[in-house]
Amino acid sequence: MRLPAAAWAFVAPALLVVGVFFLLPVVAGLGLSLTDFDIYALAAFSNLRFVGFENYVRMLQTPLFWQALANTLYFVVVGVPLSIGASLGAALLLHSRLARFKPFFRTALFAPVVTTLVAVAVIWRYLFHTRYGVVNYALDQIGVDPVDWLGDPHWAMPTIILLAIWKNFGYNMVIFLASLQAIPEDLYEAARIDGASWFRQTVHITLPLLGPTLLMVGILTTAGYFQLFAEPYVMTQGGPLRSTVSVLYFMYEEGFKWWNFGAASAVAILLFGLIFAVTWLLIHLSKREVNP
């Protein structure tokens, strides 16, 4: 077999799968968002009509969409910095020369990452149970009144954010740890000779050198957090008072509960646009930061 022919034979199966079951549906999703595809069209494609941007216009006039967007932004804006902060803190602790039993601590702190989100959400629901949960019990011990964590619209999203931090911080921790280990030791050596404290070394050496990693971790975490779905599905079903309906939860109900595939596709594409814009913004801002 000649080389190019062989090469195509090697890439063909994977390209076929990715093309037919991902790229093609993505393009079709764009098209679908411009139609009124609903349960009648699901029965017979002849009921399908082209409606232009009507789905998008209608979405932007739907209060629940805006609420879902606001809830998702709340989750992202509060959750991402706290998650990255937790990851960085844990990584700095693990990287410290003073830390003992590093492999054990690293494995234990990473464990939540590989657990199943649904199972963890079930555990979380029990831990934060209003009457019998251990969290309220602990609060009671220090004299704080019980909080209706998942039943109070003000507390439901913070509880989900706590779950997300616990579940995810290990992932970025490992990435930060690898970057920390790549920083040359003599930089710290020189700083120590100059009498710089640990705090100053961290601010002036560690954090600047972590810059590119921080940007990458920030982008990936933000994109991931925008796709909030399983936590509200299991823990709150979007409640209370729709305070935990995320954009994807809204899309799921619109698409697979009411079978409005046209509207659901429009929601998915709006979400994609938002993630893309935020990513672009992060890259742009970080460039300005480096060369003002």
Partner 1 sequence: MTPRLASALVNGLLIGLTAVTLFPLLWMLSVSFMPAGAASTLPPPLFPETPTLANYRELFVRAGMVRWLMNSLLLAAAVTLCSLAFNTMAGYAFAKLKFAGRERLFRTLIGALVIPGQVAMMPLFLLLKQMGLVNTYGGVIVPAMAGIFGIYLVRQYARTIPDELLEAARVDGAGEFRIFLSVVVPLLRPVLASLAVFTFLACWNDFMWPLIVLTDEDLQTLPVALASLSREHVQDNEMMMAGSVVTVLPVLVLFLALQKHYIQGLLLGSVKG
- Could you say which residues in the range 246-265 bind partner 1, by CB under 8 A? 248, 251-252, 255-256, 261, 264-265
Contact segment (CB under 8 A) with partner 1 among 77-85, 188-196, 202-210, 222-230 equals 222-230
Answer for which of 64, 73, 82, 93 binds partner 1 (CB under 8 A) is 93
**How far apart, in whole angstroms, are the C-alpha atoms of residue 75 and residue 72?**
5
22: exposed, middle or buried (C-beta count within 10 Å: 0-12, 13-18, 19+)? exposed
Cis peptide before 146 (omega within 30 of 0): no
Considering only residues 114 through 133, tell me which ones interact with partner 1, judged by CB under 8 A: 114-120, 122-127, 129, 131-133
Say how many C-beta atoms besides its own lie within 10 A of residue 175's C-beta.
17
CA-based R_g, the chain, Å? 24
Q: How many residues bind partner 1 (CB under 8 A)?
A: 93
Q: Which of residues 158-177 bind partner 1 (CB under 8 A)?
A: 166, 170-171, 174-175
Residues 66-85 that bind partner 1 (CB under 8 A): none
Q: Residue 260: count other Cβ atoms within 10 Å of its Cβ.
A: 22
**Binding segment for partner 1 among 8-16, 51-59, 71-79, 188-196 (CB under 8 A)?**
8-16
- 3-class secondary structure for 205-220? HHHHHCHHHHHHHHHH
Six-digit token string for 114: 């590989």
Site for partner 1 in 16-45 (CB under 8 A): 16-18, 20-26, 28-30, 32, 37, 42
**DSSP classification of residue 155:** T
Nearest to 31 by CA among 55, 63, 1, 62: 55
Comparison of 93 and 196: residue with beta carbon closer to partner 1: 93
Residues 100, 185, 193, 195: which binds partner 1 (CB under 8 A)? Answer: 100
CB of 195 to partner 1, least distance (A): 14
Contact with partner 1 (CB under 8 A) among 82, 183, 216, 282: 216
Residue 218 as a binder of partner 1 (CB under 8 A): the answer is: no
What single letter denotes the amino acid at residue 47? N
Can you tell me which of 78, 82, 234, 282 binds partner 1, judged by CB under 8 A?
234
- To partner 1, the closest distance from the beta carbon of 21 in angstroms equals 4
The DSSP line for 116-137 is -HHHHHHHHHHHT-TTT-HHHH
